Chain A
């Protein structure tokens, strides 16, 4: 870091630059998290005889126990794990493959392709889900119509394929964005490395495995962690697709369950516990992934 002196340089002018963000972060980012943590330890109960105002009592981890005792919530956690197991590898491999193909030097119009792949990032998740919803029902989908005229029947919204259908929407939305991050990392590799490798007789595959992948490793890790975090937020796609299929219930993902507890069931304390569980799951996954890839013996691919 570019520190010039050891002593504090927080003069009034510097504070004026620093504090607006810190205050906004505290109010609209940190405070809700603290609020959720505290709220998850309390419960609102009707007072003894059922008369009078309900009172807020400290129940410690009761809400967490209640969340894990709710079968539909536990089922939604399991569903989320299955979804992550589909989505994360699919996303990382696809965006990496697109980046490597575009930067292979063999692509005809790399710039046009790159803009095109990136474009869905600008389409709101809600709109993406609406559009794919139309492409998932036989009445409006040209793809399903073409397949069925060939005698192939595909039902993306059936209960055994719904997670893939949702994974596809997320892939469509974010593969280009992640590809962008990986291309930037590929571009940062000095071209002398390639020349040296060619002189040593390395093949295209050899260059990918020996030079490109190890050098863009930090960006691959970044993309993986971002995808894990994004996966846990699964909310919009099932919400939009729900009217089209019976395979999605009102507690399909933990976030949907928390949303329902808050606004439909009127139990924000339980909802807070559910939200904290999802966030902890996210931290656990992100950090165990980071530990896994940062083990010493695992340093070289």
Chain B
């Protein structure tokens, strides 16, 4: 999808003035989107004192990124590394499971006829419209009754449900898995699960990767669910851990530097992931296009 850039015009016409204006606006926008990221990267090289005394968009005289990094990873017995590992666990395992079951469900909704199919799809699609906050609070009480709150399962299991993933999978299964292929495989004696596992998933690979990435970022960025469910700091994801540190800044200003450097680390991690995998962010799935 990143192939057809600038397809909008024929022959690239337009006056010099309009080109200058377009690129000027794009540059200013770029500065806006970069500002907090550049600020936090520079701030993560400063001492707690310099954070408040030096100009925010330039380095202090003695940049000390490694010392700050060392502090972040040794504070509270190295709990920050645990938070990162927890985030990777929640987002990685959660998104993997979410993708498998959402793609299987979307595929069945696209390719098999049964009574109530459209009703089921409408209910799932309606789930996209429900604010996540109305789910998190009652979910706490439900999981509390079965003793799951406070465990990693209270975050992992709810993260495995992605209605949006089912929606994308259904669209893509319709577009990229021909009925004839399924029919032919069935005549060869393949069962439904096997046809899905070895043929359909191969044809749907780009969509599957996209669904995984969307869900990974959604879980990684989630805050309310772990906030409601978890109380042991050893089970916290990075988002919750950083706000824990942030709540201690008034007691000890040194925590400002920990929050800043910790934020820088978490920003770098996800931005690196997004840029390295950018060819898999296929938003045209959402437009229902099938160029895949």
A: which residues have CB within 8 A of B? 1-11, 13-14, 16-18, 20-22, 24-25, 27-33, 35-36, 39, 98, 101-108, 110-111, 113-128, 130-132, 134-135, 139-143, 145, 172, 176, 180-181, 183-188, 191, 194-195, 198, 204, 212, 218-219, 222, 225, 229, 232-233, 235-236, 240, 243, 255, 258-259, 262, 268, 271-272, 275-276, 278-279, 282-283, 286
Contact = CB atoms under 8 A, between A and B. Distances in A.
Contacts of B247: 243
A36 B136 CA distance: 10
B187 to A, nearest CB: 13
A187 B114 CA distance: 35
A185 B30 CA distance: 22
B192 interface: yes
A2 B111 contact: yes
A107 B22 contact: yes
Given A103-B6, A131-B263, 16 more contacts: A13-B192, A17-B104, A18-B104, A25-B161, A28-B161, A36-B138, A110-B6, A130-B259, A131-B36, A184-B283, A184-B289, A194-B10, A233-B133, A272-B137, A275-B133, A275-B137
A229 B243 contact: no
Nearest to B272: A122
26 contacts: A13-B191, A16-B192, A16-B193, A21-B161, A29-B163, A30-B127, A104-B6, A106-B18, A108-B26, A117-B33, A119-B275, A120-B36, A130-B246, A132-B36, A140-B51, A142-B56, A184-B284, A184-B287, A184-B289, A187-B284, A188-B284, A219-B287, A235-B224, A255-B133, A272-B138, A279-B134
Contacts, number: 321
Given A6-B113, A18-B105, A134 B129 contact: no
Contacts of A271: 137
B115 to A, nearest CB: 6
A157 to B, nearest CB: 16
B57 interface: yes
B205 interface: no
B129 A219 contact: no
A183 B243 CA distance: 35
B110 interface: yes
B79 interface: no
A2 B286 contact: no
A31 B142 contact: yes
B35 interface: yes
A21 B102 contact: yes
Nearest to A283: B129
Interface stretch (B37-45, B60-68, B70-78): B37-45
A130 to B, nearest CB: 6
Q: Which of B100, B129, B138, B183: most chain A CB closer than 10 A?
A: B138
Interface residues of chain B: helix, strand, loop or mixed (majority): helix
B287 A128 contact: no
Interface in B243-284: 243, 246-247, 249-250, 259-260, 263, 266-267, 270-271, 273-275, 278, 281-284
A219 B286 contact: yes
Nearest to A35: B138
A27 B224 CA distance: 19
A122 B270 contact: yes
Contacts of B124: 25
Contacts of B9: 104-106, 194, 204
A105 B18 CA distance: 11
Contacts of B198: none
Interface in B123-147: 123-124, 127, 129-142
B221 interface: yes
A155 to B, nearest CB: 17
Nearest to A176: B33
A101 B9 CA distance: 12
A118 B51 CA distance: 28
Contacts of A235: 133, 223-224
Contacts of B283: 180-181, 183-184
A126 B239 contact: yes
Contact of A240 (B19, B192, B243, B289): B243
Contacts of B133: 233, 235, 255, 258, 275, 278
